[in-house]
Amino acid sequence: LRQPQRAAYWSTAREAVAALGPEQRAGLELRDLAVVVATSRHHPEWLPLTTDQLANRIDAELSSPSAGRTHTLDFEGWAGDFPQTFRKWRSKLRWADMAAILLALEATRVEAVRDHLFDYADRDLKDRTCEYGGIIRLDDQGRYEVVEFRPRVRGNDERFDAPQDMIDAGYTALFHFHFHATSVRNGRYAAPAQGDMLYADSVRANALCFTFIDTGTMNVDFYRHGGVSVDLGEIRRPPSPRS
């Protein structure tokens, strides 16, 4: 982040962090800088809000029937208790986690983002040699952007090995992401698996997992280091444009 080619970003991040109050800055990590930058750019009105105020916004969206966020919580990839609901994690999340979740909810409402994600997931579904993944970031115009990266290693359809160029690009990205797309009906694996959580512990990034529920639906999970995994509900494939 301190390399000369990122000087402009570092300056922007310093200004954004300087605008935060003591509660918002508490426990801030390097992975949070992109979240703070995006928040200051798109939602400066969030910066003075408390952690509880942001949490209330998340809770309202995830629990409101009108928001259409159906949840898939029957994950079979872990033995024992594996909490996935926001309400179970709420007390352990900090201000920057709340802002990251709100940005993830917003990004996945953007039709161009969902269109790219479903197209990419369709290609993953056809490729039995690996999982696909990448990053979600803001482009030069401040729009949410999905960036694809080729996996470093192939040979396992249930694993995505992030290449070094993705790790490098991820320092200024909002989220790392990958798909669970071994089947179009993959709901029993709709959450980050143990290997995904180990990845989050290693790279300390904010991450998203997208899982096919059916051909037109994917479930979204936010996760980070420390075993945190929050189900963000389902997103729908945008309708195809009429010919």
pLDDT in tens, 113-157: 999 999 999 999 999 999 999 999 999 999 999 999 999 989 888
pLDDT in tens, 45-60: 999 999 999 999 999 9
pTM above 0.75, yes or no: yes
Query: Is the pLDDT confidence value at 96 over 90?
Result: yes
For residue 64 the two structure tokens come to 């409101």
Query: Is the pLDDT confidence value at 26 over 60?
Result: yes
Average pLDDT of span 70-90: 70
3-state secondary structure 41-90: HHCHHHCCCCHHHHHHHHHHHHHCHHHCCCCCCCCCCCCCCCCCCHHHHH
Question: In the chain, what is the straight-line distance between the N-terminal and C-terminal CA atoms, in Å?
Answer: 45
Q: Please tell me the predicted confidence (pLDDT) of residue 231.
A: 93
186 vs 115, residue with greater confidence = 115
Pairwise CA distance, residues 161 & 156, whole Å: 10
pLDDT confidence tier of residue 83, bands split at 50, 70 and 90: confident
